[in-house]
Structure 1
Amino acid sequence: MAFSDRKVFVVGGSRGIGAAIVRRFAAAGATVIFTYAASVTAAVQLAGETGAQALQADAGVRDALIAAIRDAGPIDIFVYNAGLLVFGDPLTLDADEVDRMIDVNVRGAYFGSVEASRLMPEGGRILVIGSDTADSMPFPGLAAYVLTKAAMQGMARGLARDLGPRDITINVIQPGPTDTDMNPADGPRAAGMLGPMAIKRYGTADEVASLTLYLAGPQARGITGAMHTIDGGFAA
């Protein structure tokens, strides 16, 4: 029960990596609040399973996200996991879909992190789930997506400086191919994903959640403004 005195707020926690993070923190004794956008059934089931509180809030709508975080009160650990993937020929991609992805992946991560930090006590933790594609992109069609993930790196480096005097750390966790609904290990893109990997298997959501707990714990108090890749060597 290492986190029994901590309040954890997870943005995008109803499915996949987010749900694994909610489960791990809840099992470690934390008070957990998580948001979801549209996955009502999954959110209700996860809340019932873990005792966490589920809040419906669209991470791409700035005022709604800020209000949800503010209303939660002081947060010890903030995890931003919400994310969208839009891919295809940049000459033909729908501009509105790209804007929506930027709203969720970049603006939501920035405004959410800043709002969470307002009342965060000293020693707080901010963790953003990014992607190893910010460091290596071997496939075409993902320029807009990679733009959003690379932006998280700059944000983390900057906020590390801004929040460091309060002993608040911010880190980016960069998964590679991970077995989730968005990119299943038995999906049509799996063979191509495995090709560049040094370890020829998909990662699991629980592996990413384990790294999240490590970076949120007291042993990681000196780690900030850093990128932590967990991708089986995809970007090596």
Structure 2
Amino acid sequence: MQTYTLDINCDLGESYGTYRTMMKSDEAILPLITSANIACGFHAGDPATMRLTVEHAMMHQVAIGAHPGLPDLQGFGRRIMEITPREAYDMVVYQIGALEAFVRASGGQLHHVKPHGALYNMAAADIKLAQAIAEAVYQVEPELYLYGLAGSELMMAAKRTGVRGVSEVFADRTYCSDGRLTPRSHHGALIEQPEAALAQVLRMVKEGKVIAVDGTEVPIRADTVCIHGDGEHALTFAQTIREILEAAGVDVTAYQAT
């Protein structure tokens, strides 16, 4: 009998300064996920938030990842910036190092790196940026996992570099026929019905395919699924998706290479 495994990851630690409203939702969602991507101070987060989020993740035995973004607090790292591959390399190394220090000080071990927002999307399509990010991860610690969009340039760069790539899929986003996410600016980019999102995840995990917006079947690898922790119904959705996956015989656990 075939067995299926899936990691559930979520972006956390995105409070900053006196803006602390995210901390309560972070604490509530941690028991439901298996990997946490913690902001490193560029797009969100600050030293105190990083420390607290690391401590909470360790209490719940959740795998900890660095979540480096563009230096854009005002835009939450979601605005495209023109950066060189060298700049991408430097900012990723810097942010991994910052979070790793808090993890080590708390007696833990860093598990993975997942770029945030615009940096994630840029690296999914730009071969030079993707290569720079993969090399940054490898040269900091070759044993780290690199999370990225399934089938993207970042995953191909990880393979070339020797980094252990982890293919990420999304429950609440639709896909184009080329395997890329439908741009948020396009109609139908978001899946608003929880039942449809859950069905999409199960299909990706068990069948290795996703139905694109034009109706075509697209092959896809699903190692980890992203849950957005800042959504209106994020907590309920995280609880439901975990229950549905486990009921369907999927082993929900932090990603480990086999």
So what's the TM-score if we normalise by structure 2? 0.38
TM-score by structure 1 length?
A: 0.41
